[in-house]
């Protein structure tokens, strides 16, 4: 405790067990302070593979690890299953459902949720993909649609059951469209009597002029070609103007409104800050951007409160670069690590230079054996990119057993096009 300027043990409260919060906690595991990590879920979720759960390729348990298990054995870290209701930055207190916690340093890393851009009633009609429950619901809808089509005698209604509209052509939309095409063309191919699953229509609608707008233009073009080769219809420059039960209305830039009958619509478009963004604004007056993300200082603290950090998807960090940092796992990991280092330096009465993100590239997968990768110094596409994508995703999975199992499941499903977890389960 000698390094602690006051005699009492320094208390760090971290809200959120995603990549940001978890990396901060792990980096503090040998520091003589008391860390409390709060999350409303008991597990860390590897979101980059959530689309695989939504399409039956992996089980929820494969891409999630109990936060407790990840941090087990570190007596200075306590994990609590709790939802934060409020923050009092003057009293340095966090209010939970049923208790209060005091902190010396607070780290807020609660991420983002879907943004329906004011059309919140679309949520039921076109669910988004952020949680395990979302993934199970999307899986249920996709698989049930083929079951219903098999029973449907009316050709028009059958077509509607076999039409899938994905709204939003970022990473999630592209990956989900590729997996859906694989299901229709490979996995289910020989399993039905009345329908030909390869006739399923998969429509990917993208408002922007190109897919994956954060990637270089040639990789966007490659993604489009790959998806079309898999049987996906890609419409860029096209905005959805209305979603009704079974009917989606959309409009390309200069065209008239078009309609398509589809029983299954999925939302893969925007995200907005989780509710802790609003809580922070209310209690600290901090500024937020259009998506509700919190504007942070160059050291990831917020205005007026040098002992409150905001990291990960919830933070808008735009110092020394054209655009704010993207909401991806590597940014959150590096921010979590930085904050832990800064806390350690401050305990010694020192500080650190401003946070600087090291971009190691970005990658997205398209179906079974194609991906696009931009590593800065090299751009890859196709099978080699897919291999690298697979390797990196398995590598960054937390928990060794998960890695082994996922590797085997992948190898198996790659060889056979099978998907092991195709369960239609009901939530009560």
Residues in touch with a copy of itself (CB under 8 A):
41-43, 56, 59-62, 64-66, 68-69, 72-73, 75, 78-82, 98-99, 132-133, 136-137, 143-144, 147-148, 150-151, 188, 190-194, 399, 401-402, 404-405, 408-409, 412-413, 416, 418, 420-428
**Least separation in angstroms between CB 334 and a copy of itself:** 27
**Least separation in angstroms between CB 57 and a copy of itself:** 10
CB-based burial label for 270 (10 Å; 0-12, 13-18, 19+): middle
Closest to a copy of itself by CB, 217 or 423: 423
**Least separation in angstroms between CB 122 and a copy of itself:** 17
Nearest CA to 46 out of 82, 86, 4, 17 is that of 17
Q: 388 and 363 in contact (C-beta within 8 Å)? A: yes
Q: Do strands 247-252 and 93-96 pair parallel, antiparallel, or not at all (unpaired)?
A: unpaired
The CA-CA-CA angle for residues 412, 414, 415, to 5°, reads 65
Q: Three-state DSSP class for 219?
A: helix
Closest to a copy of itself by CB, 387 or 424: 424
The torsion of the CA quartet 394, 396, 400, 404, rounded to 10 degrees, works out to 0
CA dist., res. 53 & res. 58, Å (int)? 5
Token reading at 120: 């919140």
**Least separation in angstroms between CB 74 and a copy of itself:** 9
Q: 175, 182, 222, 335: which one is catalytic? A: 175
Closest to a copy of itself by CB, 136 or 185: 136
**b/e 361-398 (16+ beta carbons within 10 angstroms → b):** ebbbbbbbbbbbbbeeeebbbeeebbebbbeebeeebb
> CB 117: neighbour CB atoms within 10 A?
11
CA dist., res. 340 & res. 320, Å (int)? 22
CA dist., res. 15 & res. 84, Å (int)? 8
Closest to a copy of itself by CB, 124 or 350: 124
Closest to a copy of itself by CB, 33 or 371: 33
Half-sphere exposure of 79 (CA within 13 A, CB side): 22
Closest to a copy of itself by CB, 196 or 218: 196
Closest to a copy of itself by CB, 66 or 330: 66
Token reading at 423: 């369960």
CA dist., res. 414 & res. 421, Å (int)? 15
**Least separation in angstroms between CB 58 and a copy of itself:** 8
Radius of gyration of the chain (CA): 23
**Least separation in angstroms between CB 144 and a copy of itself:** 8
Token reading at 245: 């039960």
**Least separation in angstroms between CB 110 and a copy of itself:** 17
Q: Three-state DSSP class for 248?
A: strand
Q: Is 175 a catalytic residue?
A: yes
Strand order, beta sheet including 238-244: 238-244, 247-252, 258-261
Nearest CA to 209 out of 236, 229, 234, 241 is that of 236
Which positions are catalytic?
A: 175
């Amino acid at each position: 405790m000698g390094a602690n300027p006051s005699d009492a043990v320094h208390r760090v409260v971290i809200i959120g067990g995603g990549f940001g919060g978890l990396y901060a906690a792990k980096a503090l595991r040998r520091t003589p302070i008391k860390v409390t990590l709060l999350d409303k879920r008991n597990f860390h979720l590897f979101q980059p593979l959530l689309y695989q759960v939504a399409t039956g390729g992996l089980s929820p348990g494969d891409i999630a690890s109990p936060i407790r298990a990840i941090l087990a054995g570190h007596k200075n870290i306590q994990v609590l299953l709790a939802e934060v209701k409020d923050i009092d930055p003057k009293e340095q207190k966090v209010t939970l459902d049923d208790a209060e916690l005091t902190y010396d340093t607070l780290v807020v890393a609660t991420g983002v949720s879907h943004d329906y851009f004011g059309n919140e009633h679309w949520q039921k009609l076109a669910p988004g993909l952020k949680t395990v429950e979302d993934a199970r619901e999307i899986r249920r809808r996709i698989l049930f649609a083929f079951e219903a089509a098999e029973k449907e005698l009316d050709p028009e209604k059958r077509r509607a059951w076999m039409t899938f509209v994905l709204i939003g052509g970022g990473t999630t939309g592209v990956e989900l469209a590729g997996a859906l095409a694989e299901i229709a063309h490979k996995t289910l191919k020989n399993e039905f009597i009345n329908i030909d699953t390869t006739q399923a229509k998969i429509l990917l609608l993208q408002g922007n002029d190109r897919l994956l707008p954060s990637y270089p233009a040639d990789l966007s073009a490659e993604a489009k070609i790959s998806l079309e080769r898999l049987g996906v219809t890609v419409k860029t420059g096209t905005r959805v103007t209305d979603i009704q039960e079974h009917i989606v209305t959309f409009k390309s830039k200069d065209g008239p409104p078009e309609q398509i009958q589809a029983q299954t619509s999925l939302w893969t478009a925007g995200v907005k800050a989780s509710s802790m963004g609003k809580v922070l604004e209310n209690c600290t007056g901090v500024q937020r951007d259009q998506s509700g993300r919190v504007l942070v200082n160059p050291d990831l603290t917020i205005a007026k409160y040098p002992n409150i950090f905001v990291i990960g998807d919830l933070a808008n960090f735009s110092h020394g670069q054209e655009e704010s940092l993207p909401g991806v796992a590597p940014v959150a990991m590096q921010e979590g690590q930085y904050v832990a280092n800064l806390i350690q330096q401050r305990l010694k009465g020192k500080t650190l230079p401003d946070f600087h993100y090291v971009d190691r590239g970005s990658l997205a997968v398209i179906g079974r054996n194609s991906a696009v990768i931009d590593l800065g110094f090299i751009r890859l596409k196709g099978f080699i990119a897919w291999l690298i994508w697979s390797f990196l995703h398995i590598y960054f999975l937390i928990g060794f057993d998960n890695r082994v199992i996922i590797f085997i499941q992948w190898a198996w499903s790659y060889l056979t096009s099978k998907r092991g977890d195709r369960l239609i389960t009901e939530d009560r």
